[in-house]
Structure 1
Amino acid sequence: MADKTRKFPGADHPITVAKNPDRVVVKLGDQVLADTRDALSLQESTYPAVQYIPRDDVDFTLLERTEHSTYCPYKGDASYYSVLPAGEAGVNAVWTYEQPYDAVVDIRDHVAFYADKVSIEIIAD
């Protein structure tokens, strides 16, 4: 197995993780997949912010782990889940960093959903 390149956030590629003060609800149609007031918002470089939902606030009966994985040199290895009610459209629609690098360790025990696969609502309190 080849060594993986590891990079660190900095001025050229900033990454911040902060508690989202609002409620975040993830749905597929009318079906709630996740509902939390404890989401973490990860802002990476110029990409749109991603909401990381605590695993305890996700309905895992609607998800199925897959064999798919990816690697981010800033965050580590990602594992994936499919959203079962979405069928083919929901394959690998959810990801998680189970052993994230130190710079983003707060996202451990959280999952994120692809915004083009589900509805992600941020509801201001």
Structure 2
Amino acid sequence: MTAASPSPRPQEISIEPFAGTVTARFSDAIIASSERARVLYEPGHDPVFYIPFDDIYFDLFAKSNTVSRCPIKGMASYWNVSAVGDGAKDAMWAYETPNPVAVGIARHGAFDERVVRIEATPMPDALHDPTTP
């Protein structure tokens, strides 16, 4: 008889504030911009920027019927975007009520980088900037 193996531990994720400005553009329109964005790091995946709902221009979005489930983060909802005469399905997603490990991205949206251009501009480092007096 073999002993039962312990259940696998969920992958570790980390959520950190981004020191700078993150701007999301679709079809040449700014659809979100924030100096309060967060970056989610998850093993095996590229880092993902999450922008607070307050900094997303929701008048350009319509919630879709699409949902997905991540065993770590929880249930994700999706939004379609429409701007400058163009549109894209499920261009943004959010974990509105994430699992406890991902609570740092609650009420934040992330964007599908295949259709939304993300620009992340780090805050200038005054300590190491030779032009700072």
TM category (shorter chain) comes to: 0.7 to 0.9
Map of 1:74 onto structure 2? 72
- Choose the corresponding residue for 2:111, options 88, 100, 113: 113
Q: What is the 5 A alignment of 1:51-70?
A: 51-70=49-68
Pick closer, same or farther for the CA change 1:60–1:70 going to 2, 3 Å: same
What residue ranges of structure 1 are gaps of 5+ in the alignment? 1-6
Say whether 1:41 aligns with 2:39: yes
Pick closer, same or farther for the CA change 1:71–1:23 going to 2, 3 Å: same
Q: How many percent identity over aligned positions?
A: 33
Map of 1:32 onto structure 2? 30
Count of aligned pairs: 114
CA distance in 2, matches of 1:17, 1:109: 14
One-letter amino acid matched to 2:121: I
Alignment TM-score, normalising by the size of structure 2: 0.81
Larger Rg: 2
One-letter amino acid matched to 2:106: R
> Which SS does the other structure have where 1:23 is aligned?
strand
One-letter amino acid matched to 1:108: A
CA distance in 2, matches of 1:91, 1:19: 28
- Compute the displacement of 1:14 (Å): 2.1
Name the Cα RMSD after superposition.
1.3
Stretches (4+) displaced over 3 A: none
One-letter amino acid matched to 2:54: D
Pick closer, same or farther for the CA change 1:8–1:55 going to 2, 3 Å: farther
- Compute the displacement of 1:28 (Å): 1.2
- Choose the corresponding residue for 1:21, options 16, 19, 22: 19
